[in-house]
Amino acid sequence: MEPRPFDELARARLSRRDILRGSAALAAAFTLPAGCATPRQADPSSLRFEGLGHGVDDRMHVAPGHSAQVVLAWGDAVLPGAPAFDVGAQTAASQRLQFGTENDFLAFVPLPLGSNSSTRGLLCANHEGSRLHMMMPGFDGEAEVLSRATRAQVDCEMSAQGHSVVEIVLVDGRWKPVAGSASNRRLDALHTVLRVSGPAAGSQRLRTREDPSGTRVVGTFNNCAGGVTPWGTVLVCEENVNKVFAGSARGTREERNHERMGVGAELEYAWAAHHERFVLERELNEANRHGWVVEYDPHDPSFEPVKRTSLGRFKHEGATCAVDPDGRVVVYMGDDDEDEHIYRWTSARPWNPNLRAANRDLLDDGVLHVARFHEDGTLEWLPLVHGHGLLDGGNGFESQADVLIEARAAATLVGATPMDRPEDVEANPRTGKVYAMLTNNTRRAAADAANPRARNKHGHVLELEPPRDAQGRARHAAERYAWDVFLLGGDPRDADQPGEYHPGIDAGGWLTCPDNCTFDPRGRLWIASDGGARVGIADGVWACDVDGEGRALTKRFFSAPVGAEVCGPCFTPDGSTLFVAVQHPGESDARGNSRGVHHGAPTSRFPDHDPALPPRSAVVALRRHDGGVLGG
């Protein structure tokens, strides 16, 4: 008997689930014709704001009754002695003291330590990329950078990536950076020295001429999403690190490894022209020293950042934490590339909530797992452990260090499910369910259970459900979960790839290319997007209930300026402020075309809108006019 088509199987499973839960509205979402909507007066959503419509221009927009405030932008002062932003005099020395560019992941860490403050805290921000043709005058486009960038320009660019920590306070309804705070900090690609720990530390494959020990690395870069541990440290994820390396590893021990990571094949930066450690023929192992999760303590500026190799090496998009009922810490991670995988790491021992110092190296000892999705709606977590199954010397894995350095190859070998660009993967703190953002995958030739569309243009969201213990708590360390499709991105009226949501969404309620997510204090899901230009709309933030009659009824809350993606959404503990990152504004037109766009001719000059200034990536605070909880 031939297997049932996935769309039939998924609808049957959804129907069974909805009958059990009594959710007629959700069942209707998959049976009513596309584009049907419930009357506004019958709106079942718990979110009490009027959603924005679709559209795109050079400004940002937020739902009526709310304000959008720029808190920090590229070039703003972070450390003492930072000069004022001067577009004509950018240097590595000034940039290492200033807020970096292309901010992505955001975390609000309340102050003082251990408090639940929503008026004072540390704003922690990743700086994912840097585009010299947008940062500096003299380049007519991106293609010129590789051949014309000088050493001084490259060093400034490297100093603009990494991470920033800035103390902020809420004064009269507006967030203000605290100048000269002892907590303020910058990590970057040029100056920061990091320790390497865990099973891969000291591996021959991490040793270089500059670091024969394989335990000290200069620089963290291409820092995308991240996470915060239960003990209050921050996890910074290295993603597209392959794009700085030039040359070839053909005929070497690293050929398979570098090819799988795209090292040497996707050069976008001119770093190798001025720093030979990024030339593969000169330093073959340097690439293996990047692509990890970095842990640092925002409460201790003297804390040396650490690359935690136990969590594996790939293009990390997020490292979000949950705690199992037995106290073990679970870290969820996505590998942001077509046909790559969703991962989970479980600590070997429980964390200690009473002695913070006892958790300092907890992330060095645990097991990395990768997800295999089954058509019956179950999910199996497969351990990536040397000597387990096929992960042995016969397949090129001589040690656990090899397994972690080549986590992608190990995941494929054990039979993990290739996914449609897994990005953020986060557990809902109210329900314990886990939500995975799958952005898109136009390379996918055939659909499967967890990726229900071939040539997936719009992405989708999966809902993963761990089993429960006797007290109803989610067992995040369990070997098997249940899973379901939460929503399919795209316009419900699209004849080719119609989106699937609650039928009550309004004209601006549908989204494309989900990227990052977060949860408000009520456990409602807020989704940031990256890919609106594919269909001529602005990227932004949408919110929806995850259960009840308003499940998957997405509403558009925020809209970014043209050329920008939105990422890093995070709330203050009381839910009165949502911070979002507006990344690379003005880099392309409404359809994603970047031809002719550069520093002097952007499509938006957000946030300053000053003809003398280029566009600047920025952190934006979204609040209700009355200071109340967002969404009601």
- Residue 632 inside a domain? The answer is no
Domain, as residue range, for 121: 6-239+291-624
User: Phi, psi (5° rounding) for residue 7?
Assistant: -60, -35
* 250 part of a folded domain: no
Q: Residue 112 has what pLDDT?
A: 97
Rounded Cα gap, residues 198 and 364, in angstroms = 5
Q: What does pLDDT average to over the chain?
A: 93
Is 514 a residue whose pLDDT tops 90? yes
Q: What is the pLDDT of residue 173?
A: 97
Tell me how many helices (H) and strands (E) the chain has.
Answer: 9, 31
Q: What mean pLDDT is predicted for residues 286-302? A: 96
Beta carbons of 630 and 622 less than 8 angstroms apart? yes
CB 418 within 8 A of CB 456: no
Rounded distance between C-alpha atoms, residue 266 and residue 621, angstroms:
34
* Contact (Cβ atoms closer than 8 angstroms) between residue 539 and residue 531: yes
pLDDT at 33: 31
Distance CA 437, CA 421 (A): 8
Q: What are the backbone angles phi and psi of residue 493, rounded to the nearest 5°?
A: -90, -5
Residue 206, CB-side half-sphere exposure with 13 Å CA sphere: 27
79: left (phi over 0), alpha (psi -120 to 50) or beta: beta
Hey, what amino acid is at 23? S
Nearest to 605 by CA among 26, 58, 53, 50: 58
Q: Residue 545 domain-assigned? A: yes
- 577-583 and 234-238 as β-strands: parallel, antiparallel, unpaired? unpaired
For residue 237, is it left (φ>0), alpha (ψ between -120 and 50) or beta? beta
Q: What is the structure's pLDDT at 10?
A: 42
Task: Collect all residues with Cβ–Cβ distance below 8 Å to 338 and sequence separation of at least 6.
Answer: 420, 421, 441, 442, 443, 444
Q: Residue 249: its pLDDT value, please?
A: 97
Take residue 72 and report the two structure tokens written for it.
Answer: 């920090």
**Per-residue confidence (pLDDT) for residue 237, from 0 to 100:** 98
pLDDT at 25: 36
177 within 8 A of 165, measured Cβ to Cβ: no
pLDDT band at 302 (very low <50, low <70, confident <90, very high): confident
Domain annotation covers residue 15: yes
Examine the pLDDT at 11 and tell me if it is beyond 80.
no
Q: How many angstroms separate the CA atoms of 568 and 385, rounded? A: 32
Q: How many CA atoms lie within 13 A of 604 on its CB side?
A: 26
Give a yes or no: residue 274 inside a domain. no
**Residue 317 near residue 258, CB atoms below 8 Å:** no
Strand arrangement of the beta sheet that strand 223-228 belongs to: 216-218, 193-197, 306-308, 293-296, 234-238, 223-228
Give residue 592's Cα distance to chain centre: 21
pLDDT confidence bin for 42, thresholds 50/70/90? confident
3-class secondary-structure state, position 205: helix
Q: What is the DSSP string of 77-94?
A: B-STTPPPP-TTS--HHH
State the Cα–Cα distance between residues 10 and 3, nearest whole angstrom.
Answer: 13
pLDDT at 132 > cutoff 80? yes
Could you report the per-residue pLDDT of 13-37, keeping only the tens digit for each? 444 334 223 333 333 333 333 333 3
Nearest by Cα to 606 from 592, 596, 621, 616: 616
Report whether pLDDT(41) > 70.
no
Number of domains composing the chain: 1
Burial readout 1-18 (b: 16 or more C-beta within 10 A, e: otherwise)? eeeeebeebbbebbeeeb
Supply the pLDDT for residue 436. 98
* Phi, psi dihedral angles at 434 (to 5 degrees): -115, 135
User: For 425-482, what is each residue's pLDDT tens digit?
Assistant: 999 999 999 999 999 999 999 999 999 999 999 999 999 999 999 999 999 999 999 9
What is the domain-level CATH number for residue 132?
2.120.10.30
In a domain, 588, yes or no: yes
Q: What is the per-residue DSSP string for 276-293?
A: GGGBTTT-TTGGGGSS-E
pLDDT band at 528 (very low <50, low <70, confident <90, very high): very high
Q: Report yes or no: 599 and 139 within 8 Å, Cβ to Cβ.
A: yes
* β 193-197/306-308 pair status: parallel
Q: How far apart are the first and last CA of the chain?
A: 51
pLDDT per residue as tens digits for the range 232-285? 999 999 999 999 999 999 999 999 999 999 999 999 999 999 999 999 999 999
Contact 278, 271 (CB under 8 A): yes
The pLDDT of 284-306, averaged and rounded, is 96
Question: What is the pLDDT, as a whole number, of residue 385?
Answer: 98
Distance from C-alpha of 353 to C-alpha of 350, rounded to nearest angstrom: 9
Element (H, E) at 555: strand 555-559
- Residue 208 reports pLDDT greater than 90: yes
* DSSP 8-state class, residue 41: G
- 493 domain-assigned: yes
The residue behind tokens 């300092």 is: 360
In Å, how far are 67, 84, 369, 527 from 632, measured between CA atoms?
A: 15, 39, 38, 17
Residues of the chain with pLDDT > 70, as a percent, come to 94
pLDDT above 90 as % of the chain: 92
Alpha carbon distance 254, 245 (integer Å): 13
Residue 185 lies in a domain: yes
